[in-house]
Amino acid sequence: MIGEDSGDEVRRFINFSFSGSTRPYLSRDEVVRLWSLEFQWFSPSESTEVLEKMIESGWLLLSEQGVSPIRDIETSIPPLGWRPILRKLLNPPEPPSKISEQKPDEATPTSVIVVKNTVKSAEYPADWAEGSIPSLISIIGEKSGLDSKEVVRRAQRKRRALGHVTLWMSLALVARDQGLEMSVIDDIIGEN
């Protein structure tokens, strides 16, 4: 049996995949498109293979409505820059309960429970990372070789493409695209 960290990886993966959905299920095509094109985690064929393994192992359920996670998967929010590890998803451990063997019905949709940090939000302004923007622009430019204007231009392009995304988050995405160490970016954002 694969270690507990593999189960944590699967929980994070499922949480990240389904947490933004307004429905308790997604079609198979939506899931493959999400993993391969939107998140750019895997190729379409790898995404299909991961989907089959998740269904086969019982972490995801396949019904007439589509694909849905097993009930009440408790997980933490993935750290900034997190990417799923393909080998762990292709060899998933058993799900935590046998509820996964039951088919979900329309009256009882499945859900993903996210355990949030217990830091009081009153300690931070509405967007507590806003103060890190000048430092982010500077460090991304310095480490990637891009000038500051190009860094901001790329971040603004990401904001337009993604919709409701803060500037600091789009800068973090630019840093990730440039292959920068995300722990450095996380430290800069966390300092403010």
Q: What is the pLDDT of residues 109-146, one digit of tens each?
A: 545 454 444 444 444 445 566 777 888 888 899 999 99
Number of H helices, E strands in the chain: 8, 4
Which is more confidently placed, 23 or 52?
52
89: tokens are: 């998803």
CA 183 to chain centre: 16
* CA distance readout (Å), 39 to 32, 88, 112, 121: 10, 18, 19, 28
pTM of the model: 0.51
The 10s digit of each residue's pLDDT in 151-191 is: 888 988 888 888 777 888 888 899 999 998 888 888 887 76
**Mutual orientation of helices 148-162 and 167-177 as an angle, nearest 10°?**
110
Q: In this structure, are residues 140 and 121 in contact, taking their beta carbons and an 8 Å threshold?
A: no
Domain range annotation of the chain: 4-115, 130-191
